[in-house]
Amino acid sequence: MNDDEIATRKMQFLFALRSKGVTEPRVLEAMEKIDRGGFIKGLFAERAYEDMPLPIACGQTISQPSVVALMTQALDVQPRDKVLEVGTGSGYQAAILSQLARRVYTVDRHSRLVREAREIFEALDLSNITAFTADGSFGLLDQAPFDRIIVTAAAEDPPPPLLAQLKIGGIMVLPVGQSDHVQSLIRVTRNDGGFEYEELRPVRFVPLLEGVGRES
């Protein structure tokens, strides 16, 4: 691809986001600034600006850009927020969040993905992201509570430790349902009296698995 082709594809990319309901200017700005092409290696790199999920290492996927943007929009991130992401994957979603939040913690069960994402964060100078290898279904007790939590792998129900690590007034966005089925993207808001649940749209994510991966 030459520079002109890349510029055209990027324009189409932003147009596709708008047509799918991404309207929040700060989210669109972040999606414009962070180049998805930097998070995809090898054969699929030239499809980075298409609105589709693509394979990454460890048998995982980088989510569809419109889903990344719609989840980010639903999360309603504020500039002072401390955010937890479960499921670092390529690091793309964390990079988008880093443009909107004060601090982003992201965890993945595969150490290789965490290592590769850290290298990208460093190269892009995204110094407000910290990535760890951990089973994110337990959250990140050291840094809890969080203003916002986003889970990018599907559990059958919201993991109780994540609900517990959400601040009062906080918001969590996550897919729920069985991994081989269409799942529901839901938004959980914690208020004084408890939790409010809202169903947003059907989605498909890889499963939230227990423990950390065995590879080095």
Active site residue ranges: 63
How far apart are CB 4 and ligand SAH at their closest, in Å? 27
Residue 98 found at the interface with ligand SAH (CB under 6 A): no
Q: Return the C-alpha torsion angle 61, 140, 160, 64, nearest 10.
A: -20
Longest Cα separation, the chain: 55
| Interface pick for ligand SAH out of 27, 66, 75, 92 (rule CB under 6 A) | 92
Return the number of the residue (59 or 191) whose C-beta is nearest ligand SAH: 59
Structure tokens at 47: 């499809």
| Interface pick for ligand SAH out of 64, 66, 73, 93 (rule CB under 6 A) | 93
Residue 86 found at the interface with ligand SAH (CB under 6 A): yes
| Interface pick for ligand SAH out of 100, 186, 203, 208 (rule CB under 6 A) | 208
| Calpha distance 18→83 (Å, rounded) | 24
- Residue 103: name the closest of 124, 121, 84 by CA: 84
How far apart are CB 187 and ligand SAH at their closest, in Å? 17
Size of the site for ligand SAH (CB under 6 A): 23
Residue 31 found at the interface with ligand SAH (CB under 6 A): no
Contact 95, 34 (CB under 8 A): yes
Residue 130 found at the interface with ligand SAH (CB under 6 A): no
Residue 152 found at the interface with ligand SAH (CB under 6 A): yes
| Interface pick for ligand SAH out of 60, 64, 66, 98 (rule CB under 6 A) | 60
Residue 72 found at the interface with ligand SAH (CB under 6 A): no
| Interface pick for ligand SAH out of 137, 139, 158, 166 (rule CB under 6 A) | 137
Return the number of the residue (116 or 191) whose C-beta is nearest ligand SAH: 116
Contact 102, 53 (CB under 8 A): no
Residue entry with tokens 């601090």: 103
**Cross-strand partners of 83:** 104, 148
Which residues make Cβ contacts (< 8 Å) with residue 96, sequence separation at least 6?
A: 27, 30, 31, 34, 68, 69, 72
| Interface pick for ligand SAH out of 135, 146, 147, 176 (rule CB under 6 A) | 135
How far apart are CB 211 and ligand SAH at their closest, in Å? 7
| Calpha distance 121→196 (Å, rounded) | 34
Structure tokens at 102: 């004060």
